[in-house]
Chain A
Amino acid sequence: MIATVARRPINGPLPLLLLVLALAWISLVIGAPLATVLVQAFSKGVGPFFDAFKDPDALAAVRLTLIVAAITVPLNAVFGLAAAWSIAKFNFKGKALLLAIIDLPLSMSPVVSGLVWVLLFGASGWFAPWLEASGVKIVFALPGIVLGTVLVTLPLIARELIPLMSAQGADEELAAATLGAGGWTTFFKITLPNVRWALLHGVLLCNARAMGEFGAVSVLSGHIRGLTETLPLHVEAVYNEYDFVGAFACASLLAGLAVVTLVAKTILERADQMAAKQGSAA
């Protein structure tokens, strides 16, 4: 646990210099942009700030962003649990490969994560004839945006769960089985409670990323105002039209999401530490 690490008080010029440097860097690259967002958003007063959200396109963008997150997060939560469970509790061939594939989206540019779906489902993609025949629209529509977001956020929940579940091992599940518990009972009474904080943590990160994703979504959305633009895309579009207040008002929403995520993350980490104290080495 972090709290048990011994720390020395700052003395001498070098540590002080390093500290000042670190603080200056953080304020420059994080603090200043965040402040700019707020200053710009309110540059013409409170009224224009709220006017930005009366724009139906802005509202549509917020709605679409929420829908995408509402689909993506549960999908990746289920996938993350399933993947972590099979990797942590069983031995099978191709386990290392599965682990590597889960990590792949992290090392891949989001633009590529978007393009692969265009190659598969786009107008000249592999499945284009079949899609055209059945009238299903994937690229430049909600399904495409969701697919891109799912791919980009795929590792976030699984990676929170895998180390924890591996460390916990399968003994508790086996014990539950010998005591007569079935598969689902074991899952809901033993496995899930044991990883609940890590799962919430992963859901939080996944949600933040899903709402903020730009690259993959930009490739897949088609930029149809009021229809296929998520909040990040909307910010860019409005900014490009020199509506700075509108752009920064919407950007402040995304920045607000980041702050809420940070606070929730801190609370979860505290809860997690308490749970670790309660449950360690059991």
Chain B
Amino acid sequence: MTLVVDGVCKQFGRFPALNNVSLEVRDGEFLTLLGPSGSGKTTLLRVLAGLDRPDRGSVFLNGVDFLRLSARERRVGLVFQQYALFRHMTVAKNIAFGLDVRPARTRPSRDAIKARVSELLTLAHIDGLGARYPAQLSGGQRQRVAVARALAFEPQLLLLDEPFGALDTKVRKELRGELRRIHDETGVTTILVTHDQEEAMALADRVVLMNRGRIEQVGTPHELDDTPATPFVFEFLGECNRLPCEVSNGVARFEGFAAPVIGYGQSRGLGTVRGQALFRPADTCLDAGAAGDGLPVRVVQIGGRGAIRTLECLALSGHRLFAELPEHLALRFEVGQRVRLTARRVIVEPGRETDAKAHVDHQPARSVAV
């Protein structure tokens, strides 16, 4: 069983929400659509659910042309951002809805529906809440009901649109685990939309990272972390330092040091290129020794707590750079100290070098919490 999306385009007025999106989803897979707002991830989900029609492209599930089916014919379970529970129905009635509205020929018997509902109440760990109304539930419980309702009619696909958006951090984490457990128990192919990279990476078998209506990269969380296809992917998945550099033959050269470039293959043979290097605070090393490689910087702040500490450093050029060090290493440094900074590996955004002056008041896009 595979879902094949091919060349899907969708335009809202003059705004291209989906721009030639192609994707293959395997049977039983847990996929997350990740991206900033406006990246098209929710539109793609709505196209799959049948709530939006694409302008071009095709969607096939097991060889069935999905675009020729209406939302009600697709048998796709959709969990809405605000859950969209039926407010005047009890939890049990909500869950039974997908079965209750079937035509008499294919509708299960009343007892069978009842059994299915209690099965789902158990699966979603909400036994005993069947007689309540949605307004009498907490946010987390509502979310569980929404998932149970979407699963009750044995959908071919389970789609979730930012399902944890309205919940506090603790409940989020708990439900995240629950959702993965439910997926593993039912084996239903699941696609979840989120803008939270941590959530996407923690949950998914594979992550689809979207930006401006296009897919930037598809891969396992490990692949995305290890071999980001584009600087956007790298930047979206975590905090980064930015520093101008010169690249040739897969090596980025900075003032005082050099570092290998990840995903260099694409730009091989271009000669020497100037650009912006991006690298993680976790890949940043500091050395207090008298001699050796490294960009001269001054430690201006030491923050964080626990095993990992964040050191904020200021270069003479005005660049603010962050380094994450294990506690025992971080303790060797103090505020005001002059040290040398190097990076283990970098990714390069070619041709976007800005001069140092302009960079003084340019904070990193996602600054590290200190």
**Do residues B84 and A171 form an inter-chain contact, with CB atoms below 8 A?**
yes
Extra inter-chain contacts (10) besides given A178-B150, A179-B150, A185-B101, CB under 8 Å: A175-B86, A176-B86, A177-B51, A178-B76, A180-B72, A180-B101, A181-B72, A278-B87, A279-B133, A281-B135
Q: Enumerate B301-344 residues with CB–CB distance to A below 8 Å.
A: none
Chain A nearest Cβ from B265, distance in angstroms: 42
Contact with B along A151-194 (1 / 0, CB 8 A): 00000000000000000000110111111111001000110011
A156–chain B nearest beta-carbon distance, Å: 24
* Contact present for B153 and A180 (CB under 8 Å): yes
Interchain CB contact under 8 A, A177 and B87:
no
Contact A279-B101, Cβ < 8 Å, known A177-B71, A178-B72, A179-B153: no
Instruction: Specify the chain A residue showing the minimal Cβ separation from B146.
Output: A175
**B88: interface (CB < 8 Å):** yes
**B-side contacts of A281, CB under 8 Å:** 135
The residue in A178, A275, A278 that gathers the most chain B C-beta atoms within 10 A of its C-beta is A178
In the bound complex, residues from chain A placing their C-beta under 8 Å from that of B133 are: 278-279, 282
Query: Is A179 within 8 A of B87, CB to CB?
Result: no
The reply to whether A179 and B51 contact each other, CB–CB distance below 8 Å, is: no
**Which B residues are CB-close (under 8 A) to A175?**
78, 80, 84-86, 149
Chain A binding surface, main DSSP class = helix
B221 interface residue (CB < 8 Å to A): no
Q: Is B134 an interface residue (CB 8 A)?
A: yes
Nearest CB of A to B257, in Å? 54
Question: B84 contacts A172, CB within 8 Å?
Answer: yes
B147 to chain A, nearest CB (A): 12
Q: Any chain A CB within 8 A of the CB of B142? A: yes
* 8 nearest CB pairs, A to B: A279-B87, A282-B87, A282-B134, A171-B84, A179-B98, A175-B84, A181-B101, A178-B78
Q: How far is the CA of A189 from the CA of B89 in the complex (A)?
A: 10
- State which size class the interface on B falls in: 20 to 34
Contact A172:B86 (CB < 8 A) given known A180-B98, A277-B135, A280-B135: yes
Q: Which residues of B contact A179 (CB under 8 A)?
A: 72, 77, 97-98, 101, 149-150, 153
Residues of B within 8 A of A194 (CB): 87-88
Contact present for B77 and A178 (CB under 8 Å): yes
- Specify which chain A residues have a CB less than 8 angstroms from the CB of B76 in the assembled complex: 178
25 A–B pairs (Cβ distance < 8 Å), ordered by A: A172-B85, A172-B87, A174-B78, A174-B84, A175-B84, A175-B85, A175-B149, A176-B101, A177-B51, A177-B70, A178-B49, A178-B71, A178-B77, A178-B78, A179-B77, A180-B75, A180-B101, A181-B72, A181-B101, A182-B72, A189-B86, A190-B86, A278-B133, A282-B85, A282-B142
> Is B102 part of the binding interface, using a Cβ–Cβ cutoff of 8 Å?
yes
B50 on interface, CB distance cutoff 8 Å: yes
Complex contact A171–B80 (CB within 8 A): yes
Q: Is B82 an interface residue (CB 8 A)?
A: yes
CB distance from B100 to the nearest CB of A (A): 8
Residue of B nearest to A174 (CB): B51
Cα separation A184 to B186 with both chains bound (whole Å): 32
Q: With the chains together, A174 CA to B87 CA distance in Å? A: 14
Q: A279 to B88, Cβ gap below 8 A? A: yes
Contact with A along B66-107 (1 / 0, CB 8 A): 000011111111101011111110000000011001100000
Once bound together, how far apart are the Cα atoms of A280 and B88, in whole Å?
Answer: 10
Instruction: Mark interface residues in B223-259 (1 if CB within 8 Å of A CB, else 0).
Output: 0000000000000000000000000000000000000
Collect the chain B residues with CB atoms within 8 Å of residue A185's CB: 101
Q: Chain B's nearest CB lies how many Å from the CB of A274?
A: 11
**B84 cross-chain contacts in A, Cβ below 8 A:** 171-172, 174-175
* Distance in angstroms between the alpha carbons of A188 and B239 in the assembled complex: 51
- Chain A residues 91 to 120 lying within 8 A of chain B, measured CB to CB, are none
Report Cα–Cα, A76/B102, bound state, in Å.
Answer: 32
Chain A, range 192-206, C-beta contacts under 8 Å to B: 193-194
B188 to chain A, nearest CB (A): 14
Complex alpha-carbon distance, A71 and B50, angstroms: 40
Bound Cα distance from A226 to B78, whole angstroms: 61
For residue B80, which residue of chain A has the nearest CB? A171
CB pair A171–B97 under 8 Å, yes or no, is: no
Expressed in whole angstroms, the Cα–Cα distance for A194 and B86 within the complex equals 9
Return chain B residues, CB-CB under 8 Å to A180. Answer: 72-73, 75, 98, 101-102, 153
Quote the shortest CB–CB distance from B148 to chain A (angstroms): 12
